[in-house]
Amino acid sequence: MTRTSRAVVLEEFGKPLQLRRYDVPTPQEMAALVRVEYAGVCGTDLHLQSGHLPIPVPVGLGHEAVGRVDTLGPGLTHDVLGNELAPGDWVSWLNNIACGRCRFCLVEQQPTLCTGSRRIYGINQSADQWPHLSGGWADYIYLQPGTVLVKLPEAATPQQVIALGCAGPTAVHGVLNEVRVRSGDTVVVQGSGPVGLAAAMYAQLSGAKKVIIVGGPATRLELAKRLGVGHVHIDVFQVADADERTEIVHGETDGAGADVVVECAGVPSAVAEAIDYARPDGAIAVIGQYTDHGPTPINPHLITRKNLNISGSWGFGARHYLGYIASLPQLVANFDIGQMVSEYALEEANSALADVKSGAVVKAVLRVGDE
* Interface with Zn ion (CB under 5 A): 42, 44, 98-99, 102, 105, 114, 116, 166
Q: 292: which residues sit within 8 A by CB, 6+ positions away?
A: none
If the CB atoms of residues 136 and 257 are measured against Zn ion, the closer one turns out to be 136
**CB atoms closer than 10 angstroms to residue 155:** 12
CB of 49 to Zn ion, least distance (A): 13
The three-state (H, E, C) secondary structure of 20-37, written as one string: EEEECCCCCCCCEEEEEE
* Helical spans, DSSP H, in the chain: 43-50, 103-106, 158-164, 167-171, 194-205, 218-227, 242-252, 269-277, 300-305, 318-334, 349-358
CB of 353 to Zn ion, least distance (A): 13
CB of 108 to Zn ion, least distance (A): 10
CA distance 36 to 370: 10
CB of 251 to Zn ion, least distance (A): 35
If the CB atoms of residues 95 and 192 are measured against Zn ion, the closer one turns out to be 95
If the CB atoms of residues 277 and 321 are measured against Zn ion, the closer one turns out to be 321
If the CB atoms of residues 98 and 199 are measured against Zn ion, the closer one turns out to be 98
Mind giving me the DSSP string for 313-337? --S--HHHHHHHHHHHHHHHHH--G
CB of 32 to Zn ion, least distance (A): 21
CB of 117 to Zn ion, least distance (A): 8
CA distance 57 to 240: 41
Q: Closest by alpha carbon to 95, among 327, 361, 320, 346? A: 320
Q: Is residue 282 within 8 Å of residue 260, measured between CB atoms?
A: yes
